[in-house]
Structure 1
């Protein structure tokens, strides 16, 4: 079935390509129609079928030929670039996209470098067309013919067309064009000097024969082997420069060697000049090794947008004194990331030292667990960490043993430019929101200027977040690892966790665990956002009681913490279906309260049954204080009595709040009112209700008089 689908897609694409090639369009550059057809065939050959479907074949042919006209005159080494929004008048078509078109010598990294530059401007790339066209040009750079790959005198050229998110602001388009031109220059010099930089790496390796006195011979051989390994397709070389050390009194300076730069460091203005060494840099010059492996403080403009990998090789004289540095910047290749660290020079040396410090058998259970931790450890951290840092962190991770807890590990960059943080969080509690909150917390804690992160979620019970916090030069924040870890714990701990603690505190361990197991995870997000876990304990107790007693509905009047005078909340708990507003609001309003809002929450029990909590916000005579203890039970009983049909729903129920009566006592007054109406006295019930409520302080005396006369319990 899959092969049939692929065949149909292939047939569909070939039909579209044939239509484009056969379109009646003429080229201003190619006079021979067969040459035009050959060019069109090469131009659209590798375009995905979904980018061809639904478009006019004649317009697509015209677009391809306009791209050719744009590159009709170009000298070798020249990059042509234009960014435009097509119009019917100028281009013969309109589009929802802005287009970026380039013609360049064929070289590596063009497409990914330019698309990364576009993404840095928050513009999405929707269409990518990248044919490699073999052409011949005359001495003035004018295109003379389309050739076949390998033809004598033919050169392969890169024609790139991006359809990007539409941008019409001329200022933004100019900024984007400037950025892409810079990227194209960086790509060109990096590709131009690539072989030279590889050669410099091997030459630098041979300089390691000189070094600090009494150094470990194994460290020398591993360092040399690492440089050989990097040169062998494990490092994308982007820049190189040599530096010399000099002393002026107590000050130490690092000077760039004029003319030594290659790649993106070949231009004198980029990283050149003299720099006075900081305390950290001086310490590195005195360290008894050759290599400085870290991250540069700038992002790559070539290949992918990542902070550049920095490989510094200290140069020693024959007396063992550090006299300079050879610096390589670039990016580790995908091969380097996929290779086992136990097979990588220098890393295998570090790993051996870590196992010695951990005092574990590599073939034992803990040894295998430690090996797995190292294999999955962030690759940059393996290169950049000292043996001490690596042992401290990996052994700390080993001791976690998949325990469901938060753990925080920290490493400071050798140049004091960034903090590398490893945060372990229980996998079931990890969310994107937790990551963002943790990033903000760490950025604030370290006075950071930027944050980058990478997440690893595997079969482990813990999710790992690797966060790099970059700091401004000279920043020395005072930090406490334990304090930061506790603050992350507070971010990670969920509402359910706090509810569990509240239930254990309120009801004891056995009963609290039972209630949490039954009801701890049934509440929706809205309820959790509006309700404190300590407040939810009473809701759970009420729910549990309703299920035990098979009750369908119950209510609760309460005063929220820090509420305004006269403000109350009234919760209605219902099994199955919530109470309708048309039923609830008239009852409460006839009891003398104004209903300001309702917040309904549906909780799903394990049985699948719905449990509703409807929280009504009530206000009593705006600003009037309420004797909650006196009115609480009377209000709840009256509401249920009216809802159940045991009492009538009229204005006399206001006396529950204002007159201190219960619902049975209001029924007594209601009976009197109806008898008065039957006697024909000219008073409506509404009038009598208002009079009684207006003289609410006298009403209890009337009820008391009745009870003294007719209550058999009164002697």
Structure 2
């Protein structure tokens, strides 16, 4: 330990000081300056006390303490040491909170009086933190410091500062005269009125109330009592050990010993004596002992036979319930105490039962020692430990290995490194089996579990050999959790051994509840430990092979297994990761996403777990969350993991916890999941819309096409002058899900692709529409009623639709076309056309108005998104006047582009416009009859509720003067009978905008 520097503090000498010595000088200098500044009356004695206490202590923790707090703490500690007298029974321990000391109790404190007299500013006097101080004074003896540290840890008290020093105190009639350091003390130099006293000061972070302080004080006093008893009786216990050794030495000398057998029973008396001499030679810390006499085959404790720890606490476990029959012929029996150690080390102490024999070798009783093997035992070769050396030699002989060969040397290496506790507590057969099992591993990176249960069923020893590169603290904790699952665990200690071997060894000593029945299944533990030791990737491969067919294993393992980020692996089990790979692989080639939906564990919370698997770069949360909100979800939590697969494809896995606006119990996730996936994919690809209509997926249970149908009708309503907002229409449909589903059912009953005749369809439509009419009677809101009735009217007025025509290319933006009979729609703006075709998609909309079966007119590109039909209707009025002499009736149409690209060249803009124009033309032709060899051929998958109508001619108009070639191109795609006559003008047409027309 560091002594107080005695050399002059010259710069040269200061360079020779250790860090602790330099900190000591800083602390004393700081304290001296603070004391002088405060003008304390007892300054000299306080400074001398500080020098003595700090002399052998690291002071770095105290340098950061505010000066006032430092002086106050030292003053209290000094006052405490000064109060020591014989009536305190060698130790005193007041425990109090700094904040609980009131000013009144310090009235006689010179320091306090001086501080008050000097009128120090309040801001300079730091308020004492709500911490707790523990002060101990005792005669100097071993184990005080480490035993009190064990107590602090067991009580979960965080020590932030501590002092421990053995000082020379001079007292007269119990009054403290001086305190000096032991730095220069030599043997037998103490004066008659001097003594060596151990002073300890602990400052803990926690603030304790009065009852807690009393409890801690009681426990500290108990520890000190046990430490004192242990030290006082140490010599007596050592004498007993030597006396027992002498008994066996006499027994060995008076009889003819058999050669040592390959078993623990029958161990020669000379070996027992040697072991007792060996542990008495600084290889065992004797904490306690109890003497027993054998009465009728039962061990009965002798009255007054307790020593050391057992004298202070007779309840210490000595395995009293283990019968003598379990000892057999052994003269020594080794075990563990179930009482957690409180002295010296926080381990389960060792029990050593030594049989007492008379001169005839008859067993008369026993001594049970409880204590701890010293550190030297674990470093001593097994060849030099009595009893162990005999066992080791017998195991080597039984192995029949050549000791100079590889196996022989490996066996001795294993025996040298095997835990000494296991050597002493295990049977020969168990030890022999253990070493043969480990040797059979042949230094291969394999896991092996070895178990042993003690005779009292109080402890289970589990030793795990695990590949060194796999061992982690996390793995060891998994082992512990597995053991807790299978055993009634009450406590657990462990240590880990590493060597040049490819295997690490984990030794776990488990304290179990003997009152609960249990069994140890080594094979089960082996299997579970092996699974736990697998790498995350290995567990993932195993899980994948249980999910996917064999032909997919190789590809998916190569593509994904080694490409997950560390954060993902830390948060995700292998089982879930296998499902995630399956989810990523389930993304269709023509889609960006795959979705999986699960109900939350708590139905009452109306929560769903939504996992979105994406290929490519999906939008950020700021764009994804509104999409989900439009579907009726409130996002409570979200987290995303991104990865790059082996092929270089970016993927993402996003977890959403969403709250629904409907009772989650009514949600069929199996039905809803593909609908949500389809909707999200279409929105992300630009082929779908994200708005309030998507709530109908959840609320009404509709699919994406059905929602698109209702959305299209709503857009058409706005064009024919229906004055309620688009959002309000969506909310109305959501308010009346039953009626909404009936409207969709009506539409599908009318236009489905079954073999039903038109006549039967009309009858079914009449029945369905009547049922809707009855349901509408229960609608209370006037506007809600108007909206729902308008939907009914539009379905009835629809004569044809391409609703059931699937696009050839799945990636193509789908479009809807309705051929309407405007005269059947009440309130239509005039003039009312003979027929009208409305084309809708997420990127464009358009209308084509015809005055009669045979009519011709131009199509224009409009920029009036909200009222383009009004623009067309104005053109129809003008056309009726202009063409009255030429053609009795005419036609007009226009389309709008809803998602033109921004900040691009005019050429790119025009390409987008032309794409919308071609979609418009395709929509018109999709509900128009064709002529093939003079016969009218209806469009495929279109049910007609009107007469043959093969005549459709379009022409150029504003913005489309050069588009006629595009229209004819689409006509050729459809094999439309008019060919190039379908659209007049072509590339040679006149540009209305350029000519100012």
Could you report, residue by residue, the CA deviation over 1:129-170 in whole angstroms, capped at 9, with x for unpaired residues? Answer: 1122112334x4433444663444132211111112333222
Aligned to 1:222: 271
Of the three residues 569, 579, 602, the one matched with 1:535 is: 579
**Is 1:602 the counterpart of 2:641 in the alignment?**
yes
Distance between the aligned counterparts of 1:259 and 1:656, measured in 2?
Answer: 85
SS at match of 2:345: coil
**Is 1:262 the counterpart of 2:307 in the alignment?**
yes
SS at match of 1:314: strand
Contact 1:655–1:693 (Cα < 8 Å) also in 2? no
Of the three residues 395, 412, 425, the one matched with 1:354 is: 395
SS at match of 1:129: strand
Contact 1:504–1:513 (Cα < 8 Å) also in 2? no
Distance between the aligned counterparts of 1:659 and 1:439, measured in 2?
Answer: 48
**Superposed displacement of residue 519, structure 1:** 1.7
Of the three residues 140, 151, 175, the one matched with 1:142 is: 175
**Superposed displacement of residue 79, structure 1:** 1.9
Q: Measured at CA, do residues 605 and 427 of structure 1 come closer, stay the same or move farther in structure 2, by a change above 3 Å?
A: farther
Contact 1:573–1:611 (Cα < 8 Å) also in 2? yes
Distance between the aligned counterparts of 1:666 and 1:175, measured in 2?
Answer: 71
**Is 1:579 the counterpart of 2:631 in the alignment?**
no
Of the three residues 295, 301, 325, the one matched with 1:282 is: 325
Distance between the aligned counterparts of 2:177 and 2:469, measured in 1?
Answer: 64
Of the three residues 695, 703, 706, the one matched with 2:743 is: 695
**Is 1:191 the counterpart of 2:224 in the alignment?**
no
Aligned to 2:80: 70
Could you report, residue by residue, the CA deviation over 1:15-65 in whole angstroms, capped at 9, with x for unpaired residues? Answer: 33134356358999xx9x876654432122233232221335565455445
Q: Measured at CA, do residues 509 and 398 of structure 1 come closer, stay the same or move farther in structure 2, by a change above 3 Å?
A: farther
- Higher RCO, Cα 8 Å, sep 6+: 1
Structure 2 unaligned blocks of 5 or more: 1-13, 107-111, 113-126, 261-267, 734-738, 754-799, 803-926, 930-937, 943-997
Contact 2:333–2:353 (Cα < 8 Å) also in 1? yes
Could you report, residue by residue, the CA deviation over 1:85-128 in whole angstroms, capped at 9, with x for unpaired residues? Answer: 23362355724431111222222111111221222222122222
Aligned to 2:26: 15
Contact 2:319–2:337 (Cα < 8 Å) also in 1? no
Distance between the aligned counterparts of 2:546 and 2:144, measured in 1?
Answer: 63
Distance between the aligned counterparts of 1:196 and 1:661, measured in 2?
Answer: 89
**Superposed displacement of residue 376, structure 1:** 3.2
Q: Measured at CA, do residues 434 and 687 of structure 1 come closer, stay the same or move farther in structure 2, by a change above 3 Å?
A: same
Distance between the aligned counterparts of 2:44 and 2:713, measured in 1?
Answer: 109
Contact 1:254–1:276 (Cα < 8 Å) also in 2? no
Distance between the aligned counterparts of 1:473 and 1:666, measured in 2?
Answer: 66
Distance between the aligned counterparts of 1:310 and 1:597, measured in 2?
Answer: 58
SS at match of 2:216: helix
Contact 2:23–2:58 (Cα < 8 Å) also in 1? no
**Superposed displacement of residue 191, structure 1:** 2.0
**Superposed displacement of residue 271, structure 1:** 7.0
Distance between the aligned counterparts of 2:524 and 2:376, measured in 1?
Answer: 39
SS at match of 1:137: strand
Contact 2:238–2:286 (Cα < 8 Å) also in 1? yes
Q: Measured at CA, do residues 283 and 168 of structure 1 come closer, stay the same or move farther in structure 2, by a change above 3 Å?
A: closer
Contact 2:453–2:460 (Cα < 8 Å) also in 1? yes
Distance between the aligned counterparts of 1:636 and 1:80, measured in 2?
Answer: 74
Contact 2:20–2:58 (Cα < 8 Å) also in 1? no
**Is 1:336 the counterpart of 2:377 in the alignment?**
yes
Aligned to 1:79: 91
**Superposed displacement of residue 409, structure 1:** 1.8
- Relative to the length of structure 2, the TM-score reads 0.60
Q: Measured at CA, do residues 531 and 196 of structure 1 come closer, stay the same or move farther in structure 2, by a change above 3 Å?
A: closer
- 1:354-503 equivalence runs, <5 A: 354-401=395-442, 403=444, 406-425=447-466, 432=473, 435-436=476-477, 438-443=479-484, 445-456=486-497, 462-472=503-513, 476-489=517-530, 496-503=537-544
Distance between the aligned counterparts of 2:686 and 2:217, measured in 1?
Answer: 77
**Superposed displacement of residue 414, structure 1:** 3.2
Q: Measured at CA, do residues 298 and 588 of structure 1 come closer, stay the same or move farther in structure 2, by a change above 3 Å?
A: closer
Structure 1 unaligned blocks of 5 or more: none
Q: Measured at CA, do residues 503 and 444 of structure 1 come closer, stay the same or move farther in structure 2, by a change above 3 Å?
A: closer
Q: Measured at CA, do residues 377 and 674 of structure 1 come closer, stay the same or move farther in structure 2, by a change above 3 Å?
A: same
Contact 1:240–1:261 (Cα < 8 Å) also in 2? yes
Aligned to 1:302: 343
**Superposed displacement of residue 4, structure 1:** 6.8
Distance between the aligned counterparts of 2:642 and 2:206, measured in 1?
Answer: 45
Contact 1:296–1:310 (Cα < 8 Å) also in 2? yes
- Relative to the length of structure 1, the TM-score reads 0.81
Aligned to 2:593: 555
**Superposed displacement of residue 207, structure 1:** 0.8
**Superposed displacement of residue 439, structure 1:** 3.5
**Is 1:706 the counterpart of 2:801 in the alignment?**
yes
- When structure 1 is superposed on structure 2, of 670-679 and 443-452 the one drifting more is 670-679
Distance between the aligned counterparts of 1:18 and 1:377, measured in 2?
Answer: 52
Contact 1:559–1:567 (Cα < 8 Å) also in 2? no
Q: Measured at CA, do residues 214 and 418 of structure 1 come closer, stay the same or move farther in structure 2, by a change above 3 Å?
A: farther
Larger radius of gyration: 2
Of the three residues 105, 109, 130, the one matched with 2:164 is: 130
**Superposed displacement of residue 447, structure 1:** 3.5
Q: Measured at CA, do residues 682 and 605 of structure 1 come closer, stay the same or move farther in structure 2, by a change above 3 Å?
A: closer
**Is 1:46 the counterpart of 2:46 in the alignment?**
no
SS at match of 1:149: coil
**Is 1:175 the counterpart of 2:215 in the alignment?**
yes
Distance between the aligned counterparts of 2:144 and 2:405, measured in 1?
Answer: 48
- When structure 1 is superposed on structure 2, of 168-177 and 610-619 the one drifting more is 610-619
Distance between the aligned counterparts of 1:167 and 1:659, measured in 2?
Answer: 59
**Superposed displacement of residue 387, structure 1:** 1.7
